[in-house]
Amino acid sequence: MKQYEWCSFTFDPDNFPDPKAYLSEIKQKFNVKICVWINPYISQLSPVFKEAVKGGYLIKRKDGTPWQWDLWQPGLAIVDVTNPEARKWYADKLTALLDMGVDCFKTDFGERIPHASVVFHDGSDPYRVHNAFSVIYNDFVFNLLKERFGEGEAVVFARSSTVGGQRFPVHWGGDCESTWEAMAEALRGLLSLTASGFGFASHDIGGFEGHPPPEIYQRWVAFGIFSSHSRLHGSSSYRVPWNYGEEAAKNMSVWLDAKHRLMPYIYSLSIQARLKGHPIQRAMFIEFPEDRTTHYLDRQYMIGSSLLVAPVFVPLSEEHEYYLPAGKWTNFWNPSRVIQGPRWIKEHVPINEIPVWVREGSILLLGPAGVGKPDYDYTQSLEVRVYEFDAAGKESVEVEVPSGKGVEVAAKIRVAKGQKVEVVSGSVGIANQAFFG
Protein backbone atom coordinates (compact mmCIF):
# COMPACT_ATOMS: atom_id res chain seq x y z
CA MET A 1 0.00 0.00 0.00
CA LYS A 2 1.11 3.59 -0.43
CA GLN A 3 2.90 5.34 2.42
CA TYR A 4 0.00 7.33 3.88
CA GLU A 5 -2.84 4.99 2.97
CA TRP A 6 -2.94 2.54 5.86
CA CYS A 7 -4.90 0.40 5.47
CA SER A 8 -5.99 0.33 1.83
CA PHE A 9 -5.80 -3.48 1.48
CA THR A 10 -4.15 -2.99 -1.90
CA PHE A 11 -0.61 -3.25 -3.24
CA ASP A 12 1.09 -0.03 -4.35
CA PRO A 13 0.60 -0.13 -8.15
CA ASP A 14 3.86 1.76 -8.68
CA ASN A 15 5.80 -1.13 -7.15
CA PHE A 16 3.41 -4.01 -7.86
CA PRO A 17 1.54 -3.36 -11.13
CA ASP A 18 0.34 -6.99 -11.21
CA PRO A 19 0.42 -8.29 -7.62
CA LYS A 20 -1.40 -11.55 -8.37
CA ALA A 21 1.14 -12.54 -11.02
CA TYR A 22 4.00 -11.46 -8.76
CA LEU A 23 2.76 -13.56 -5.84
CA SER A 24 2.26 -16.55 -8.12
CA GLU A 25 5.79 -16.24 -9.47
CA ILE A 26 7.33 -16.01 -5.99
CA LYS A 27 5.40 -19.02 -4.71
CA GLN A 28 6.25 -21.18 -7.71
CA LYS A 29 9.91 -20.18 -7.79
CA PHE A 30 10.68 -20.55 -4.08
CA ASN A 31 7.89 -22.85 -2.83
CA VAL A 32 6.99 -20.47 -0.01
CA LYS A 33 3.83 -19.09 1.52
CA ILE A 34 3.12 -15.36 1.52
CA CYS A 35 2.35 -13.28 4.61
CA VAL A 36 1.37 -9.62 4.18
CA TRP A 37 1.17 -6.79 6.67
CA ILE A 38 -2.14 -5.34 7.83
CA ASN A 39 -3.46 -3.33 10.77
CA PRO A 40 -6.87 -2.19 12.07
CA TYR A 41 -6.30 1.45 11.18
CA ILE A 42 -7.80 3.44 8.31
CA SER A 43 -6.05 6.65 7.29
CA GLN A 44 -8.12 9.57 6.07
CA LEU A 45 -6.10 9.30 2.84
CA SER A 46 -6.94 5.63 2.37
CA PRO A 47 -9.20 5.01 -0.64
CA VAL A 48 -11.52 3.00 1.64
CA PHE A 49 -11.87 5.70 4.33
CA LYS A 50 -15.12 7.20 3.01
CA GLU A 51 -16.56 3.71 2.61
CA ALA A 52 -15.71 2.93 6.24
CA VAL A 53 -17.27 6.18 7.48
CA LYS A 54 -20.43 5.66 5.45
CA GLY A 55 -20.83 2.11 6.72
CA GLY A 56 -20.30 3.11 10.35
CA TYR A 57 -17.33 0.77 10.63
CA LEU A 58 -15.05 3.03 12.69
CA ILE A 59 -14.79 3.79 16.41
CA LYS A 60 -16.81 6.92 17.09
CA ARG A 61 -16.61 9.87 19.41
CA LYS A 62 -19.61 10.59 21.58
CA ASP A 63 -20.87 13.09 18.97
CA GLY A 64 -21.02 10.33 16.35
CA THR A 65 -18.00 11.39 14.30
CA PRO A 66 -15.08 8.99 13.73
CA TRP A 67 -12.37 9.08 16.38
CA GLN A 68 -9.13 10.18 14.66
CA TRP A 69 -5.56 11.17 15.45
CA ASP A 70 -2.40 11.88 13.47
CA LEU A 71 -0.02 9.31 14.96
CA TRP A 72 1.52 7.12 12.22
CA GLN A 73 -0.98 8.33 9.58
CA PRO A 74 -2.89 11.54 8.81
CA GLY A 75 -6.37 11.48 10.32
CA LEU A 76 -6.01 7.85 11.33
CA ALA A 77 -9.23 6.11 12.44
CA ILE A 78 -9.70 2.62 13.90
CA VAL A 79 -12.04 -0.15 12.81
CA ASP A 80 -14.68 -0.88 15.46
CA VAL A 81 -14.20 -4.63 15.90
CA THR A 82 -17.27 -4.84 18.18
CA ASN A 83 -19.41 -4.17 15.09
CA PRO A 84 -20.24 -7.43 13.22
CA GLU A 85 -20.74 -5.51 9.97
CA ALA A 86 -17.34 -3.85 10.36
CA ARG A 87 -15.71 -7.23 10.90
CA LYS A 88 -17.39 -8.58 7.78
CA TRP A 89 -16.33 -5.54 5.77
CA TYR A 90 -12.73 -5.92 6.95
CA ALA A 91 -12.78 -9.68 6.28
CA ASP A 92 -14.06 -9.08 2.75
CA LYS A 93 -11.05 -6.84 2.09
CA LEU A 94 -8.75 -9.60 3.33
CA THR A 95 -10.55 -12.20 1.22
CA ALA A 96 -9.63 -10.23 -1.90
CA LEU A 97 -5.97 -10.55 -0.87
CA LEU A 98 -6.37 -14.28 -0.26
CA ASP A 99 -7.83 -14.59 -3.76
CA MET A 100 -4.61 -13.04 -5.08
CA GLY A 101 -2.49 -15.72 -3.43
CA VAL A 102 -1.82 -14.38 0.07
CA ASP A 103 -1.61 -17.17 2.68
CA CYS A 104 -1.57 -15.38 6.05
CA PHE A 105 -1.48 -11.96 7.68
CA LYS A 106 0.81 -10.08 9.99
CA THR A 107 -1.83 -8.52 12.24
CA ASP A 108 0.16 -5.54 13.43
CA PHE A 109 -0.87 -3.11 16.18
CA GLY A 110 -4.13 -3.66 18.05
CA GLU A 111 -2.98 -1.67 21.06
CA ARG A 112 -3.35 2.04 21.98
CA ILE A 113 -7.11 1.75 21.59
CA PRO A 114 -8.80 4.92 22.85
CA HIS A 115 -10.99 4.69 25.93
CA ALA A 116 -11.80 8.33 26.70
CA SER A 117 -14.77 10.03 25.04
CA VAL A 118 -15.45 7.18 22.61
CA VAL A 119 -18.35 4.77 22.10
CA PHE A 120 -18.31 1.30 20.62
CA HIS A 121 -20.99 -0.21 18.41
CA ASP A 122 -22.05 -2.87 20.92
CA GLY A 123 -22.06 -0.48 23.88
CA SER A 124 -19.03 -2.09 25.53
CA ASP A 125 -17.16 -0.25 28.26
CA PRO A 126 -14.23 1.41 26.40
CA TYR A 127 -11.88 0.55 29.26
CA ARG A 128 -12.67 -3.14 28.78
CA VAL A 129 -12.34 -2.98 24.99
CA HIS A 130 -8.86 -1.46 25.36
CA ASN A 131 -7.37 -4.90 26.06
CA ALA A 132 -10.03 -7.09 24.45
CA PHE A 133 -9.65 -5.33 21.09
CA SER A 134 -6.53 -7.29 20.10
CA VAL A 135 -8.17 -10.65 20.79
CA ILE A 136 -11.31 -9.79 18.81
CA TYR A 137 -9.15 -8.46 15.95
CA ASN A 138 -6.96 -11.56 15.76
CA ASP A 139 -9.92 -13.87 16.33
CA PHE A 140 -11.83 -12.92 13.20
CA VAL A 141 -8.69 -12.70 11.02
CA PHE A 142 -7.48 -16.11 12.26
CA ASN A 143 -10.87 -17.71 11.72
CA LEU A 144 -11.10 -16.25 8.23
CA LEU A 145 -7.85 -18.06 7.45
CA LYS A 146 -9.08 -21.24 9.11
CA GLU A 147 -12.24 -21.20 7.02
CA ARG A 148 -10.15 -20.68 3.91
CA PHE A 149 -7.31 -23.15 4.47
CA GLY A 150 -8.66 -25.58 7.06
CA GLU A 151 -7.90 -26.59 10.64
CA GLY A 152 -4.20 -26.51 11.44
CA GLU A 153 -3.30 -24.33 8.46
CA ALA A 154 -4.29 -20.92 9.82
CA VAL A 155 -1.64 -18.64 11.29
CA VAL A 156 -1.27 -14.93 12.00
CA PHE A 157 1.78 -12.97 13.12
CA ALA A 158 0.30 -10.87 15.89
CA ARG A 159 1.75 -8.03 17.95
CA SER A 160 -0.80 -7.34 20.68
CA SER A 161 -2.77 -9.71 22.86
CA THR A 162 -4.30 -10.47 26.22
CA VAL A 163 -5.91 -13.46 27.93
CA GLY A 164 -7.32 -15.81 25.29
CA GLY A 165 -5.06 -14.59 22.52
CA GLN A 166 -2.96 -17.75 22.66
CA ARG A 167 -5.66 -19.40 20.53
CA PHE A 168 -4.49 -17.32 17.56
CA PRO A 169 -0.75 -17.89 17.12
CA VAL A 170 1.92 -16.63 16.48
CA HIS A 171 2.88 -13.54 18.56
CA TRP A 172 5.99 -11.44 18.45
CA GLY A 173 7.29 -8.81 20.82
CA GLY A 174 6.79 -5.62 18.80
CA ASP A 175 9.26 -2.87 17.92
CA CYS A 176 12.52 -3.05 19.86
CA GLU A 177 15.83 -1.22 19.64
CA SER A 178 19.00 -2.73 18.19
CA THR A 179 21.02 -2.91 21.42
CA TRP A 180 22.29 -5.51 23.88
CA GLU A 181 19.73 -4.33 26.41
CA ALA A 182 16.85 -4.55 23.93
CA MET A 183 17.84 -8.07 22.91
CA ALA A 184 17.74 -9.15 26.56
CA GLU A 185 14.39 -7.38 26.96
CA ALA A 186 13.08 -9.30 23.93
CA LEU A 187 13.87 -12.58 25.68
CA ARG A 188 12.37 -11.37 28.95
CA GLY A 189 9.14 -10.45 27.19
CA LEU A 190 9.12 -13.74 25.29
CA LEU A 191 9.44 -15.76 28.49
CA SER A 192 6.73 -13.70 30.16
CA LEU A 193 4.45 -14.42 27.21
CA THR A 194 5.09 -18.16 27.13
CA ALA A 195 4.78 -18.44 30.92
CA SER A 196 1.33 -16.88 30.50
CA GLY A 197 0.10 -19.73 28.32
CA PHE A 198 1.24 -18.72 24.84
CA GLY A 199 2.76 -21.71 23.05
CA PHE A 200 4.71 -19.80 20.39
CA ALA A 201 6.70 -16.57 20.53
CA SER A 202 9.00 -14.57 18.31
CA HIS A 203 10.85 -11.26 18.05
CA ASP A 204 12.45 -9.03 15.43
CA ILE A 205 15.90 -10.52 14.85
CA GLY A 206 18.45 -7.71 14.95
CA GLY A 207 15.97 -5.34 16.56
CA PHE A 208 13.41 -3.23 14.72
CA GLU A 209 14.65 0.30 15.35
CA GLY A 210 18.13 1.53 14.51
CA HIS A 211 21.04 -0.27 12.87
CA PRO A 212 22.59 -3.14 14.85
CA PRO A 213 26.37 -3.45 14.66
CA PRO A 214 27.54 -6.77 13.18
CA GLU A 215 28.33 -8.27 16.59
CA ILE A 216 24.87 -7.61 18.04
CA TYR A 217 23.28 -8.73 14.79
CA GLN A 218 25.04 -12.10 14.82
CA ARG A 219 24.26 -12.75 18.47
CA TRP A 220 20.62 -11.90 17.84
CA VAL A 221 20.48 -14.15 14.78
CA ALA A 222 21.70 -17.09 16.88
CA PHE A 223 19.12 -16.31 19.58
CA GLY A 224 16.36 -15.78 17.03
CA ILE A 225 16.98 -19.03 15.20
CA PHE A 226 16.72 -20.90 18.49
CA SER A 227 13.18 -19.55 18.93
CA SER A 228 9.93 -21.18 17.89
CA HIS A 229 9.61 -18.79 14.94
CA SER A 230 12.43 -16.81 13.35
CA ARG A 231 12.05 -13.56 11.43
CA LEU A 232 14.62 -11.04 10.21
CA HIS A 233 12.98 -7.62 10.37
CA GLY A 234 13.96 -3.98 10.74
CA SER A 235 12.49 -0.52 10.25
CA SER A 236 15.07 1.35 8.20
CA SER A 237 17.44 -1.34 6.92
CA TYR A 238 17.21 -4.89 5.69
CA ARG A 239 18.31 -7.46 8.27
CA VAL A 240 19.59 -9.96 5.70
CA PRO A 241 22.93 -11.53 6.75
CA TRP A 242 24.95 -10.57 3.68
CA ASN A 243 24.52 -6.93 4.65
CA TYR A 244 26.62 -7.75 7.73
CA GLY A 245 29.49 -9.51 6.03
CA GLU A 246 30.55 -12.97 4.91
CA GLU A 247 31.07 -14.12 8.50
CA ALA A 248 27.47 -13.30 9.44
CA ALA A 249 26.10 -15.16 6.44
CA LYS A 250 28.26 -18.21 7.14
CA ASN A 251 27.33 -18.36 10.82
CA MET A 252 23.66 -17.98 10.06
CA SER A 253 23.79 -20.91 7.65
CA VAL A 254 25.25 -23.13 10.40
CA TRP A 255 22.56 -22.14 12.92
CA LEU A 256 19.80 -22.53 10.34
CA ASP A 257 21.00 -26.00 9.45
CA ALA A 258 20.86 -26.92 13.13
CA LYS A 259 17.28 -25.64 13.40
CA HIS A 260 16.26 -27.46 10.24
CA ARG A 261 17.70 -30.68 11.64
CA LEU A 262 15.89 -30.11 14.94
CA MET A 263 12.51 -29.69 13.26
CA PRO A 264 11.21 -33.18 14.16
CA TYR A 265 11.78 -32.21 17.81
CA ILE A 266 10.41 -28.68 17.41
CA TYR A 267 7.37 -29.91 15.50
CA SER A 268 6.63 -32.42 18.27
CA LEU A 269 6.79 -29.54 20.74
CA SER A 270 4.35 -27.64 18.53
CA ILE A 271 1.91 -30.52 18.84
CA GLN A 272 2.26 -30.33 22.64
CA ALA A 273 1.60 -26.60 22.47
CA ARG A 274 -1.51 -27.18 20.38
CA LEU A 275 -2.95 -30.05 22.43
CA LYS A 276 -1.72 -29.36 25.95
CA GLY A 277 -0.76 -25.68 26.01
CA HIS A 278 2.89 -26.38 26.79
CA PRO A 279 5.06 -23.55 25.41
CA ILE A 280 7.98 -24.36 23.12
CA GLN A 281 10.31 -21.86 24.81
CA ARG A 282 10.15 -22.14 28.56
CA ALA A 283 11.48 -20.08 31.42
CA MET A 284 13.92 -22.16 33.45
CA PHE A 285 11.62 -22.33 36.47
CA ILE A 286 8.99 -24.18 34.42
CA GLU A 287 11.33 -27.13 33.93
CA PHE A 288 13.14 -26.83 37.27
CA PRO A 289 10.57 -25.53 39.79
CA GLU A 290 12.42 -27.00 42.80
CA ASP A 291 15.66 -25.20 41.92
CA ARG A 292 15.26 -21.72 43.41
CA THR A 293 18.20 -20.44 41.37
CA THR A 294 16.15 -20.83 38.19
CA HIS A 295 13.29 -18.67 39.48
CA TYR A 296 15.09 -15.44 38.59
CA LEU A 297 16.85 -16.45 35.37
CA ASP A 298 15.67 -14.34 32.44
CA ARG A 299 18.65 -14.58 30.07
CA GLN A 300 18.42 -18.27 29.23
CA TYR A 301 15.63 -20.70 28.53
CA MET A 302 14.64 -24.22 27.61
CA ILE A 303 13.33 -25.37 24.24
CA GLY A 304 11.01 -28.09 25.41
CA SER A 305 12.38 -30.18 28.24
CA SER A 306 15.62 -31.21 26.51
CA LEU A 307 17.52 -28.17 25.20
CA LEU A 308 18.95 -25.34 27.30
CA VAL A 309 19.81 -22.20 25.31
CA ALA A 310 21.86 -19.34 26.75
CA PRO A 311 22.04 -16.48 24.21
CA VAL A 312 24.97 -14.09 24.50
CA PHE A 313 24.05 -10.55 25.58
CA VAL A 314 27.56 -9.14 26.14
CA PRO A 315 30.37 -7.98 23.82
CA LEU A 316 33.11 -10.39 22.78
CA SER A 317 35.48 -8.73 25.23
CA GLU A 318 33.32 -9.82 28.18
CA GLU A 319 32.61 -13.22 29.70
CA HIS A 320 29.17 -14.72 29.26
CA GLU A 321 27.55 -16.23 32.35
CA TYR A 322 24.73 -18.76 32.57
CA TYR A 323 23.51 -21.58 34.80
CA LEU A 324 23.19 -25.36 34.36
CA PRO A 325 20.78 -27.01 36.85
CA ALA A 326 21.41 -30.39 38.48
CA GLY A 327 22.26 -33.34 36.25
CA LYS A 328 24.62 -34.05 33.40
CA TRP A 329 24.57 -31.63 30.48
CA THR A 330 26.04 -32.44 27.06
CA ASN A 331 27.07 -29.68 24.68
CA PHE A 332 24.90 -29.86 21.57
CA TRP A 333 27.73 -28.76 19.27
CA ASN A 334 30.53 -30.70 20.95
CA PRO A 335 29.14 -33.84 22.66
CA SER A 336 32.53 -34.64 24.20
CA ARG A 337 31.99 -31.66 26.51
CA VAL A 338 29.86 -32.82 29.45
CA ILE A 339 29.28 -30.79 32.62
CA GLN A 340 27.73 -31.92 35.88
CA GLY A 341 25.27 -29.41 37.33
CA PRO A 342 24.25 -27.48 39.27
CA ARG A 343 26.91 -25.08 38.14
CA TRP A 344 27.40 -21.54 36.94
CA ILE A 345 29.37 -21.27 33.69
CA LYS A 346 31.43 -18.20 32.92
CA GLU A 347 33.23 -18.21 29.57
CA HIS A 348 34.14 -16.25 26.48
CA VAL A 349 31.89 -17.38 23.63
CA PRO A 350 33.21 -17.03 20.04
CA ILE A 351 31.01 -15.09 17.63
CA ASN A 352 30.18 -18.26 15.70
CA GLU A 353 28.79 -20.08 18.74
CA ILE A 354 25.75 -20.02 21.00
CA PRO A 355 25.63 -22.15 24.16
CA VAL A 356 23.14 -24.99 23.65
CA TRP A 357 23.12 -27.88 26.13
CA VAL A 358 21.22 -31.17 26.13
CA ARG A 359 19.66 -32.42 29.36
CA GLU A 360 20.48 -35.92 30.60
CA GLY A 361 17.99 -38.58 29.55
CA SER A 362 17.02 -36.64 26.41
CA ILE A 363 16.32 -38.27 23.07
CA LEU A 364 16.58 -35.97 20.06
CA LEU A 365 15.36 -36.89 16.59
CA LEU A 366 17.34 -34.97 13.98
CA GLY A 367 16.70 -34.67 10.28
CA PRO A 368 19.48 -34.94 7.69
CA ALA A 369 22.26 -32.34 7.59
CA GLY A 370 21.97 -29.82 4.78
CA VAL A 371 18.26 -30.43 4.25
CA GLY A 372 17.91 -26.70 3.55
CA LYS A 373 14.34 -26.14 4.71
CA PRO A 374 12.16 -26.62 7.80
CA ASP A 375 9.38 -28.61 6.13
CA TYR A 376 10.45 -32.02 4.90
CA ASP A 377 9.64 -35.68 5.57
CA TYR A 378 10.40 -36.05 9.29
CA THR A 379 10.09 -39.83 9.08
CA GLN A 380 13.06 -40.40 6.79
CA SER A 381 16.86 -40.27 7.26
CA LEU A 382 16.50 -39.65 10.99
CA GLU A 383 19.41 -39.54 13.39
CA VAL A 384 18.47 -40.72 16.87
CA ARG A 385 20.62 -39.08 19.55
CA VAL A 386 20.45 -40.41 23.11
CA TYR A 387 22.05 -38.39 25.92
CA GLU A 388 23.16 -39.79 29.30
CA PHE A 389 20.32 -42.29 29.33
CA ASP A 390 21.70 -44.41 32.18
CA ALA A 391 22.52 -41.34 34.30
CA ALA A 392 18.86 -40.33 34.09
CA GLY A 393 17.89 -43.70 35.57
CA LYS A 394 15.47 -44.60 32.81
CA GLU A 395 14.62 -48.12 31.66
CA SER A 396 12.93 -47.18 28.38
CA VAL A 397 11.34 -44.17 26.72
CA GLU A 398 9.06 -43.85 23.71
CA VAL A 399 9.43 -40.88 21.38
CA GLU A 400 6.81 -39.80 18.86
CA VAL A 401 7.79 -39.01 15.28
CA PRO A 402 5.55 -36.27 13.81
CA SER A 403 4.18 -36.62 10.30
CA GLY A 404 4.40 -32.88 9.67
CA LYS A 405 0.66 -32.81 8.99
CA GLY A 406 -1.34 -31.22 11.77
CA VAL A 407 -1.05 -33.09 15.07
CA GLU A 408 -0.69 -36.48 13.40
CA VAL A 409 1.96 -38.86 14.76
CA ALA A 410 3.57 -40.98 12.05
CA ALA A 411 5.54 -43.42 14.19
CA LYS A 412 6.93 -44.18 17.63
CA ILE A 413 10.49 -45.09 18.55
CA ARG A 414 11.44 -46.83 21.78
CA VAL A 415 14.86 -46.34 23.38
CA ALA A 416 15.85 -48.78 26.14
CA LYS A 417 18.84 -49.45 28.35
CA GLY A 418 21.69 -51.22 26.61
CA GLN A 419 21.61 -48.80 23.67
CA LYS A 420 18.55 -50.39 22.15
CA VAL A 421 16.50 -48.46 19.59
CA GLU A 422 13.44 -49.90 17.87
CA VAL A 423 10.46 -48.68 15.89
CA VAL A 424 7.36 -49.79 17.79
CA SER A 425 4.69 -48.35 15.50
CA GLY A 426 4.45 -46.76 12.08
CA SER A 427 7.20 -46.55 9.53
CA VAL A 428 10.37 -44.51 9.95
CA GLY A 429 13.80 -44.56 8.36
CA ILE A 430 16.63 -44.35 10.89
CA ALA A 431 19.90 -43.37 9.21
CA ASN A 432 22.05 -43.20 12.33
CA GLN A 433 22.05 -43.77 16.08
CA ALA A 434 24.34 -41.93 18.49
CA PHE A 435 24.65 -42.55 22.23
CA PHE A 436 26.38 -40.01 24.46
CA GLY A 437 27.30 -41.02 27.98
**Distance between alpha carbon 6 and the CA centroid of its chain, in Å?**
25
C-beta separation of 34 from 23 below 8 A? yes
Q: What is the DSSP annotation of 241-258?
A: GGGG-HHHHHHHHHHHHH
C-beta separation of 50 from 8 below 8 A? no
C-beta separation of 219 from 182 below 8 A? no
Sign of CA dihedral 411, 415, 419, 420: negative
**Spatial separation of the C-alpha atoms in residues 287 and 116, rounded to whole Å:** 43
Phi, psi angle pair for 27, to nearest 5°: -65, -40
Nearest to 104 by CA among 155, 29, 44, 57: 155
Query: Which candidate in 103, 108, 204, 388 is catalytic?
Result: 108
Write the CA distances from 211 to 179, 182, 203, 206, 260, integer angstroms: 9, 13, 16, 8, 28
Write the CA distances from 70 to 45, 76, 301, integer angstroms: 12, 6, 40
**Spatial separation of the C-alpha atoms in residues 299 and 314, rounded to whole Å:** 11
| CA end-to-end distance (rounded Å), the chain | 57
**Spatial separation of the C-alpha atoms in residues 209 and 190, rounded to whole Å:** 18
Q: Does residue 14 carry a catalytic annotation?
A: no
Q: Does residue 108 carry a catalytic annotation?
A: yes
- Report which DSSP code applies to 296: G
Per the rule left: phi > 0, alpha: psi between -120 and 50, beta: everything else, 368 is beta
Strands (E), 83-239: 104-107, 118-119, 171-172, 201-202, 204-205, 231-232
If DSSP codes are grouped into helix, strand and coil, which group holds residue 134?
Answer: helix
Upper half-sphere CA count for residue 209 (Cβ side, 13 Å): 9
The identity of residue 261, as a single letter, is: R
Residues labelled catalytic: 108, 111, 175
